[in-house]
Each structure stands twice: as C-alpha cells, then as structure tokens.
Amino acid sequence: MSDEPVRRLPLLPLRGLTIFPYMVLHFDVGRAKSIAALEAAMVNDQEIFLVTQKDTKIDDPEIDDIFEVGTISKIKQLLKLPGETIRVLVEGLERGRILEYTKQEPYFEANLVTPKKYDKAEIELQLEAISRSVLSSFETYVKLSNKISPETLLTVSTLEDPDRLADIIAANILVRSEDKQRILESFHPVERLENLYDILIREIEILEIENKINLRVKKQIDKVQREYYLREQLKAIQRELGESEGVAGEIEEYEEKIEKANLPEEVEEKAAKELNRLSKMGPGSAEGSVIRTYLDWILDLPWNIETEDNLDLKNAARILDEDHYGLEKVKERVIEYLAVRQLTKNMKGPILCFVGPPGVGKTSIARSIARSLNRKFVRMSVGGVRDEAEIRGHRRTYVGAIPGRIIASIKQAGSKNPVFLLDEIDKMSSDFRGDPASALLEVLDAEQNYAFRDHYLELPFDLSKVMFLTTANTLETIPRPLLDRMEVIQISGYTEEEKRNIASKYLIPKQMKEHGLPENSIILSDQTISDIINYYTRESGVRSLERQIATICRRAARKILETGRERVKITSGNLNKYLGIPRFHYDKVKNQDEIGIVTGLAWTSVGGDTLSIEVTPMAGTGKLVLTGQLGDVMKESARAGFSYIRSRAAKFGLSEDFHEKLDIHIHIPEGAIPKDGPSAGITMTTAVISALTEIPVRSDVAMTGEITLRGRILPIGGLKEKILAAHRAGIKKVIIPLENKRDLDEIPDNVKRKVEIVLAENMDEVLSHALTRMPEPISGGNNDGDQKS
Ligand code: ADP
C-alpha cells in the first residue's frame, strides 16, 4: 500500500451521512459508544475518524458493518442537548482508510492510512482536462435540477484546486450514499474526478427524463384545469343569461333517451360522441341545432324494433280476397311467393314487381300483403326521382341536410321489417347528380342491404328484414339491372263487368263507410254503375270510378241530411244531378263510315286506348307530313306503309306516279300521352289507302298491327289492354295480327262475345274487313302482291 502515513484515531460510525474533506457538518450523537469516541478524541487533539455505516438501521454496528474509507475530521464544537444527546460540529480534513481496528470497546479505534501526496505537475494536464468536463456537466446539472443555488456554481467554478473540486461538488449534489462513498474511496484525484463525471452524466440523464415526465404531467394537468375552468366560466355565463338549466337539462334528457333506446353499440357510441359535442356548444349555436336534429333522427329510428310475422297462408289468402275482387292469378302468385319465402326463411329471393296501368290495385295488394303478415306498411314513390341523394341523403356538411327517403320511410314505418312499397320504379330518371337506380339497387340487394349507409346518418342500417315490393306501369323503362332482380306480376286493366263488380262489392261499401252513410242508404243499380263507368270514366283501372263514387256519396250525404229522407236512389236518369254532364260518349263513336279515318288501338303506360288516325291527300310534291303526338318509331312505320302502297299502286287502282303530284298528311288527334311503337302500321296504311282511293272505312272496326314493306303483318304487344279499350269504345270488330292468336286466352270471354276478333296475316285481309269495298286494280299492273297465296 503506497498510501501513508499511518495514524491512530478514535472512530465514530455515521448513520446516513457522509462527510468529505473541506466539508463542515453537524450531527447529533446519542449512542454511548459514539460518545465515548468523542470524549477520547477531545482528549487527543480533537481529531476523530468519521466513517459511514453500511446500513443505517443497525444500532450497534460490528466492524463488518462499517465502510473502510472515511474522513479524518476536526471537532469544532460540542453542544450538550437535553437528554444524552450531544450535537457536534465537525470539519472534514482528509481521507483515511482503515488499516486495522485497534480497539472495539468502549469505542472503536483504528489505524489509518491517508492518501499519499501526488506530484501535481505530473498529472496537471489530466486534471485540467477532467475538471473541465466535470465543470461543464455540473453546469448542465445545475440548470436542469434547479435545486442548487447559482452561488454554489460560482464558488465551484472559481476553485483553484482540482483536488477540492470533486469533494465540494459531491458534497453538494449527490444523493445516494453509495455514490458519495464511491467518490470518497477514490484516493487519486484524477480517478476521483472521473468517477464524479461518470455519476454526473448519469444524474443528468435521470434529470432530463424526470423533467420530461414532469412536463407531460404538467401539460395534462394544465389542459384539464383549463377546460374545467372554461366550462365553469361558461356555466357561470349561462347562469347569468338564465340559460343554464336549458342546456344541462337537454343534455341529460338526451342521455336518458340514449340509454333507454337500447341502440346497437356503434350507434350508441356515435350518439354519445355527438352529445358530447353538443354539450360544449352554446344554446343558440347553429351547429348545436344540426347536432340536435341528428340525434333526434338517430333516436327515432327503429334500430331494434321488429314486428312478429303472421305466417298463416290461409289468413293471407283470406285477407287478399277480402280486399280485392278477382285478380285470381295475382293472388295465387302472391301466396306462392309468401310460401317460398317462408320455406327458404330468407329475404334473398327476387322482389315482387306489380306491373299494370294506374288504378288496378297494385298499391292496395301491397297493403294487403302487409296486413296479412301483420307488418307495418310504407310507401315511397320513386317516380321523378333523379338525384341519388334523394335515396341516400346528403352528407351532414351540406346545409339543411336530412336523411334520404329510404331512411325517412323506415322511421315512418317505426319497425325495421315493414313491407316497403317502392312505387313507380319505371319513372325514375338519372342526371349529373348521380344515378338513383344504382342506389336503389343497393337497397334491394340482399347481399348489401344489411348495412345500408345513408350519407346523413353515416351509420349502417340493417334493411335486410324489410320486405320490398315495387310497382310500375310499364316494364320498358325499368333499368335493366333492377328488372333482373324482380319477379314481375302483370295486372291488366278491368273489363266493364269486372269494374261493375269491384264497384258494387268493394268501392261503394268502402266509400259509404268513409262518408258515414248507413248501409242501404244509397241505391245504385247495375245499369247506373255501368253508366258511371261508361260516361264518366275512361280508364283501365278503377281509380276515377272510385272518385266518382266518392262524389256521389258526398252529394247523397248532403241530400239525406237536407231532406231527412232515409235513402236516395240513383238512376241513369238522375245521375247527371250527382256527377254533372257525362264526359265521354263511347256509344256515339262515329257510326258513319268515312274516307281517310281509321280507328287504331294503342297501348300506353296508362293502359289501352283507341286512337283515330286521319289522312288527307293534297296537291304537292310527294311529301309525307306527320302531325300529332307521335314518336320516331311511329313515323318510320308510316313511311314503310307508304312505300308499300307505292310499290302496289296499280293494285289499288292508283297511277304509278300518283305520289308525284300529292302530299300526304297523316294526323293523330287527341291525347296528351305520346304514342309510339310500330303497332299503328296497318292503321295508318289503311287510312292512306282509303284517302287515296276514296273508299270509306267501316266505323265499327278498329285495328292494330305492324306492317312490313311487303304488306305482311307482324304481332304486337299489350293485346288484352287494347281489346279492352276497343270494348270500352263500343267497337264491334277488331283486326289483329294472326301471330297474336296465342294471346287470345287472356281476353275475358264476355268481351270475346261482344267484340269480333279478326286474325289477319296480310294487308289484303285487313282491307277486306276495314274498307266498305275493295279497290279496283288497274288491269295489266305489274304488282300482283306476293301475299296472294
Ligand atoms: P294502383 O296502385 O294500381 O294505381 P290502387 O291500388 O291505388 O291502384 O287502386 C285504386 C283503388 O282501387 C283502391 O282503392 C283499390 O282498393 C281499388 N281497387 C283496385 N283494384 C281492386 C280490386 N280488384 N278489388 C277491389 N278494389 C280494387
């Protein structure tokens, strides 16, 4: 051991304290052994060896419990305190290491070595370098810790002796006793400074982390405090304005409603989020009212409300019969559909689409289906919808946004499994605002509609339990992909007899009930009902018939009240007192045969209709002039007919160049509904031939059929509607294409009995039935028709 010299001193173990050279320290001494050591020291030259105990808890330490290195110190002052305690003031002088204990009782005494003196010059550079590092890290430490006064920094930085530097810094800053001991045990100054540097760096790191954590915590606390403070302020302001209860009460009310509503998890979360936003808003703010509307919507929707189905098919059949006359095939198919749905237990099948003219009971059948299943019923017309947003809603960022009509209808239904009727799907259109048909497709698609997303709600709504039904007047304008998903049920117009039955069995009792008229208070004979049908309505369905009956009920009710009579009898004679002058005159359909006028039969989206085609030739240059409400296909078909006539001119007794000096004007009067399609081909051709040959056309004949350039006749659609229209118009004979023979099954027998149906294959046959006589061919003509077989 190179350290020297050896000294012998009394030893006092310190508990929880470390003393460094140059350090002044006072502590209290109570242990008898320690007091003995003090006394021994005072007898000597007041020097004592102070060493730290390894474990502060030990009261009576053994040799092994005491560190080996301590500080030789000078006792400066002793102060007797009450009791056996003495307060000591000491100053550290220099390090010492125990060589051996020389005494253990009544106090410890040991032989010590002190550090040898170093040749300062030898280690000057090393010292200088390490002291600089220590100093700069100490500075950082002071800055970070802000527990140490700047004066200490000043004192330390002005120290000349690097030997003291380490001890002073260690005495001032170190907390852990093992760190202090480590510095104390470093006898060589360079080693001591290095150790200190090491510890400082670690301490700085710890401080940095500590600061970071503190900062974060502080920020968090600040934010919470700030919000709390602001909210309190807001409350105070609202209280001043007398609004506080309103807002707080409203929030509470919503909270309660949300809790009670038993919403799906995702919906509830969203509602809570919105409510939280609302709670931060002033009572008058515009955004607040947007949120309120939104919350109301969410709360009003039947997220979990479902009605229980009545699956009894017999019951369904009974209700359909109860509500509707006839329609046997339709009812049968509806029951079949319900049966299949029940067996497959899902809604993935096709969607029923009722197709037919207005007023034939499409809506009312859908309503009956809902009634028989015990489901709610909603109806939404998509006719005229051209904007996708109408189906799917606008996003909430859009001013005045509301959900689309699907969601609105579901809200109206109040259950998530209503019967949902989409009316008039053939009248949808699309433009730049998006295609409503594709949105509708998603609604109807069982693979997608369990999570239908409305732009406004921003939440998926389950439409998979909804039973969708659709109606249309015609299949032609239904977008193809929609049509593919549907099972079409055609409902055609009613005959007069059917209408009469519907009126007497359904419409009249229904209207009487609605007008509060007792049974039998109105007497309407079958003849009167027929008169209403024939003179006051002109339709395929029974909608305006029902309106007329309602009018009669209204007037009759008044009469009963005014006159006190118990019943009123409505006859053909007094009908005009109730309904005004007759509006239509079928029976008076021209009963005079005329030249150039032919009755055709048309089929429009509102059912069958008759149309009268007029043709006049006049001097001109061979032009074909067409006027009236007619479409392109019809015009083409007129041209084809005209070409046919020219190619057969001689056969009709016309000179070959007849067209060179003539213009031919074809006009189709009356009717706001545009007519199109090729089925007026034979009608126009017949009218032109009649006009050119000046042979009259029979007034009680009507016709329909497409014509080819060679005079052949091609089949047409909508035969039943057309024949019913002819029947309504009092026509006795209808000429139709031979190929439509297969459709005759659909025509009710009583109609077939009244209207003679002629099947024609070519133009000759048509003319022979329609014209009062056949034209005389110019002999030697080159145009014997290919049709003569
Ligand atoms: P659509 O939807 O086809 O236009 P609606 O269902 O609105 O026709 O029918 C119009 C009215 O005629 C309703 O009051 C309906 O009850 C009645 N109706 C139609 N067809 C029948 C029928 N076959 N039996 C009884 N009432 C009918």
Mean pLDDT within 730-759:
90
364 backbone φψ class: left, alpha, beta (φ>0; ψ -120 to 50) = alpha
CA distance 193 to 131: 7
Mean pLDDT within 332-361:
85
Token couple for 465: 């339990």
Counted residue by residue, the chain has a size of: 789
For the chain, percent of residues with pLDDT exceeding 70: 94
Strand order in the sheet with 662-668: 624-628, 662-668, 607-619, 597-604, 701-703, 733-737, 756-760
Mean pLDDT score of the chain, rounded to an integer?
A: 86
Mean pLDDT within 174-183:
83
CA of 681 to the centre of ligand 1 (A): 34
Banded model confidence at residue 376, pLDDT cuts 50, 70, 90: very high
Helix (H, G, I), strand (E, B) or coil at 90: strand
Instruction: Decide: 354 in ligand 1 pocket, CB within 6 A.
Output: no
Check pLDDT > 90 for residue 756.
yes
DSSP string, 153-220: HHHHHT---HHHHHHHHHHHH---HHHHHHHHH--SHHHHHHHHHHHHHHHHHHHHHHHHHHHHHHHH
Helix (H, G, I), strand (E, B) or coil at 664: strand
* Burial classification of residue 644, based on how many CB atoms lie within 10 Å of its CB (0-12 exposed, 13-18 middle, 19 or more buried): buried
Instruction: Decide: 360 in ligand 1 pocket, CB within 6 A.
Output: yes
User: To the nearest 5 percent, what fractions of the chain are helix, strand and coil?
Assistant: 45, 20, 35
Tell me the backbone φ, ψ of residue 664, rounded to 5 degrees.
-115, 125
CA distance 706 to 737: 8
Other Cβ atoms closer than 10 A to 345: 7
Name the closest-CA residue to atom 24, ligand 1.
324
Please tell me the predicted confidence (pLDDT) of residue 605: 67
Helix (H, G, I), strand (E, B) or coil at 15: coil
Please tell me the predicted confidence (pLDDT) of residue 430: 66
Mean pLDDT within 520-548:
89
Please tell me the predicted confidence (pLDDT) of residue 178: 84
Q: Which of 403, 484, 398, 394 is nearest to 437 (CA)?
A: 484
Banded model confidence at residue 414, pLDDT cuts 50, 70, 90: very high
Question: Could you tell me if 206 and 175 are in contact, meaning their C-beta atoms sit under 8 angstroms apart?
Answer: no
Higher-confidence residue of 471 and 350: namely: 471
Mean pLDDT within 435-461:
88
Check pLDDT > 90 for residue 592.
no
In angstroms and rounded to an integer, the radius of gyration of the C-alpha atoms of the chain is 55
Please tell me the predicted confidence (pLDDT) of residue 736: 94
Please tell me the predicted confidence (pLDDT) of residue 787: 44
324 CA: nearest ligand 1 atom: 24
Query: Could you report the per-residue pLDDT of 483-498, keeping only the tens digit for each?
Result: 888 999 989 888 888 8
Query: Could you report the per-residue pLDDT of 84-118, keeping only the tens digit for each?
Result: 888 999 999 888 999 888 888 889 999 888 887 77
CA of 502 to the centre of ligand 1 (A): 9
Mean pLDDT within 582-600:
75
Name the closest-CA residue to atom 25, ligand 1.
324
Token couple for 311: 């699956």
Mean pLDDT is lowest, of 202-216, 257-271, 310-324, 774-788, for: 774-788
Check pLDDT > 70 for residue 58.
yes
Helix (H, G, I), strand (E, B) or coil at 468: strand
Q: Active-site positions? A: 679, 722
* Burial classification of residue 92, based on how many CB atoms lie within 10 Å of its CB (0-12 exposed, 13-18 middle, 19 or more buried): buried
In the block, tokens 């002819």 appear at 726
Is the pTM higher than 0.75? no
| Signed CA dihedral, 330, 331, 332, 333: sign only | positive
CA of 721 to the centre of ligand 1 (A): 17
Check pLDDT > 80 for residue 259.
yes
Check pLDDT > 60 for residue 224.
yes
Query: Could you report the per-residue pLDDT of 665-708, keeping only the tens digit for each?
Result: 998 876 555 666 788 899 999 999 999 999 999 988 999 999 99
Strand partners, 12: 50
